[in-house]
């Protein structure tokens, strides 16, 4: 086994969302992981401040999940779910229905399996369009996203998403509009939990209804907390107002919980945290603790049932993936849900959120820090951009932290933190120590 990153041939792998030439000139490699830590090929420990990529919620190296995966591979490695089935897919769907966002009252107990957050989003958008047609609202084809939203990299996801660089390079779906984002440093800087100002931004939806007509709009999709563009928090009352307007105008509301699902906010889902009930919820990432790619869409039963019409031999939804309900992914999900339940990880973050907020907000007075925001076990530290070099300060902090033994995530000039839910206070102290040192060095 190689012990030096320079001995690896890095040329063949075209890395995603990476400046490939920059990375390969000075690579940062991870070769093992356990608990709260990664390990590099040369044996250094790196504290995981990001749960991998928002996904390893139960920490690394879970033996019970690995054993479940191994057992399933040796029992049934693959079986199709087109006009066939296998028991563990139904077991997994039933288990998810039992813990569905919002509980039984929300009715989000019909499960469609995908293989990633991107696929879950495109699936939810298709279901929304199919539902509107099924109930005789075929003119409702318009989809509404939000500025600075991230909904994966499918053509549907980048169309409703609001990240400029994702959108400008590829053709987009027609008939897509965007609400304004909710980030307002002038009124809401250094928020702990939900910002006080900005609920009126939800009225952008009414403006779009007035412009296009409600009869043209199928669905609105938002992240309850926008993660990938810098932990943008919804103002108090914003999601409630959005739900009210969607209900009023017959528009479906989709929550993208690929990041917030499975305990990140100290509740099972953001639906539970905010008490706002959408019509569909997309999830992925934490569902299998990052071990096997998998995504799901939680669908309101009324939407599902509206499509269960016509001849019984008729396919109700012309959509799906070869690996929808993959048996190995289902085994990983069931084992992961067992860990969450046994260790009460869905709600552990609630008891740590104030400690976490105090730790992260201690960085507020450091040079170049223009905002700190926290919710659940998520945080963002926003830096003033360097003149002529936006994003440079955060990237330099990222590299410095990695060399000092801490993995953080950066997007533009925002440092995002989302540690595994097994984090202890000593890990929080270490994160603040390493990150604080890195921030003090920035020019």
**263 and 363 housed in the same domain:** no
Give, in degrees to the nearest 5, the angle at Cα 205 between 200 and 211: 125
- Of 315, 342, 369, the residue that ends a domain is 342
Q: What is the CATH number of the domain that holds 321?
A: 3.40.640.10
Which residue shows structure tokens 């190689």? 2
The structural domain count of the chain equals: 2
Residues 192 and 153 in one domain: yes
Residue 434: half-sphere exposure toward Cβ, Cα within 13 Å: 22
Residue 1 tokens, joined:
């086994």
List % helix, strand, coil for the chain (3-state, nearest 5).
40, 15, 40
pTM (two decimals): 0.97
pLDDT bracket for residue 245 (50, 70, 90) = very high
The end-to-end CA distance of the chain, in Å, is: 39
- Same structural domain, 282 and 398: no
Judge if 10 and 82 occupy the same domain: no
**pLDDT confidence of residue 6:** 59
Percent of the chain, pLDDT > 90?
Answer: 97
pLDDT in tens, 40-88: 999 999 999 999 999 999 999 999 999 999 999 999 999 999 999 999 9
**pLDDT of amino acid 4:** 46
Q: Is pLDDT above 50 for 2?
A: no
Q: What domain range includes position 157?
A: 67-342
Cα gap 197→225, rounded to integer Å = 15
Q: Show the DSSP H helices in 169-300 as ranges.
A: 185-188, 204-212, 238-249, 270-274
Q: Tell whether 371 and 425 lie within a shared domain.
A: yes
Q: Please tell me whether residues 329 and 365 are part of one structural domain.
A: no
**Residue 5 scores a pLDDT above 80:** no
Residues 277 and 420 in one domain: no
Q: What is the pLDDT of residues 201-241, one digit of tens each?
A: 999 999 999 999 999 999 999 999 999 999 999 999 999 99
Q: How far apart are CA 179 and CA 221, in angstroms?
A: 10
Domain check: are 40 and 100 in the same one? no
pLDDT for 7 equals: 80
- Among residues 307, 342, 377, the one where a domain terminates is 342
The CA distance from 375 to 233, in Å, is 8
Q: What is the pLDDT of residue 3?
A: 38
- Beta-sheet pairing, 280-283 with 378-383: unpaired
Q: CA–CA separation, 441 vs 428, rounded Å?
A: 20
- Parallel, antiparallel, or unpaired: how do β-strands 280-283 and 252-256 relate? parallel
301 and 220, same structural domain? yes
- The pLDDT, as a whole number, for residue 330 is 98
Chain segment 93-114, per-residue pLDDT in tens = 999 999 999 999 999 999 999 9
Per-residue pLDDT of 408-431, as tens digits, reads: 999 999 999 999 999 999 999 999
Average pLDDT of the chain to the nearest whole number: 96
Residues 39 and 73 in one domain: no
Same domain, 39 and 77: no
The model's pLDDT over 146-201, given as tens digits with 9 standing for 90+, comes to: 999 999 999 999 999 999 988 998 999 999 999 999 999 999 999 999 999 999 99
Residues 155 and 281 in one domain: yes
Strand partners, 382: 371, 414
Read off the CATH number of the domain in which 9 is found.
Answer: 3.90.1150.10
With cut-offs at 50, 70 and 90, classify the pLDDT of residue 1. very low
Domain end position, chosen among 314, 342, 370? 342
In the DSSP assignment, the letter for residue 226 is: B
Closest CA relative to residue 230, chosen from 361, 380, 119, 369: 380
């Amino acid at each position: 086994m190689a012990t030096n990153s320079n001995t690896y041939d890095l040329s063949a792998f075209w890395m995603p969302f990476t400046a490939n030439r920059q990375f390969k000139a000075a690579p940062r490699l991870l070769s093992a992981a356990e608990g709260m830590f990664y390990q590099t090929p040369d044996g250094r420990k790196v504290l995981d401040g990001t749960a991998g990529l928002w996904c390893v919620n139960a920490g690394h190296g879970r033996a019970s999940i690995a054993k479940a995966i191994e057992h399933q591979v040796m029992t049934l490695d693959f079986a199709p779910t087109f006009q066939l089935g296998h028991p563990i897919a139904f077991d997994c769907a039933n288990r998810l229905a039992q813990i569905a966002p919002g509980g039984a009252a929300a009715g989000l107990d019909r499960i469609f399996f995908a293989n990633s957050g991107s696929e879950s989003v495109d699936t939810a958008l298709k279901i929304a369009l199919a539902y509107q047609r099924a109930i005789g609202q075929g003119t409702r084809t318009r989809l509404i996203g939000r500025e600075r939203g991230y909904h994966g990299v499918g053509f549907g996801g980048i169309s409703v998403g609001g990240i400029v660089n994702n959108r400008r390079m590829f053709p987009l779906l027609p008939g897509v509009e965007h609400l304004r984002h909710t980030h307002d440093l002038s009124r809401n800087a250094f928020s702990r939990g939900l910002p006080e100002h900005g609920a009126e931004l939800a009225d952008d939806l009414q403006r779009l209804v007035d412009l296009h007509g409600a009869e043209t709009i199928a669905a609105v999709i938002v992240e309850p907390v926008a993660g990938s563009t810098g932990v943008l928090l919804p103002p108090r009352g914003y999601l409630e107002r959005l739900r009210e307007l969607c209900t009023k105008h017959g528009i479906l509301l989709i929550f993208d919980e690929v990041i917030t699902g499975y305990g990140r906010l100290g509740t099972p889902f953001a639906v539970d945290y905010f008490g706002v009930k959408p019509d569909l919820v997309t999830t992925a990432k934490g569902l299998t603790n990052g071990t096997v790619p998998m995504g799901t869409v939680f669908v309101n039963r009324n939407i599902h049932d509206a499509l269960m019409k016509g001849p019984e031999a008729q396919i109700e939804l012309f959509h799906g993936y070869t690996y929808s309900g993959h048996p190995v992914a289902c085994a990983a999900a069931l084992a992961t849900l067992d860990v969450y339940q046994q260790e009460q990880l869905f709600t552990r973050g609630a008891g740590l959120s104030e400690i976490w907020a105090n730790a992260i907000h201690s960085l507020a007075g450091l040079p170049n820090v223009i905002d700190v925001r926290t919710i659940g076990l998520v945080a963002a530290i926003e830096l003033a951009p360097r003149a002529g070099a936006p994003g440079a300060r955060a990237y330099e902090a990222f590299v410095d932290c990695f060399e000092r033994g801490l993995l953080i995530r950066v997007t533009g000039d925002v440092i995002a933190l989302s540690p595994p839910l097994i984090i202890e206070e000593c890990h929080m102290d270490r994160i603040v120590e390493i990150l604080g040192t890195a921030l003090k060095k920035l020019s």
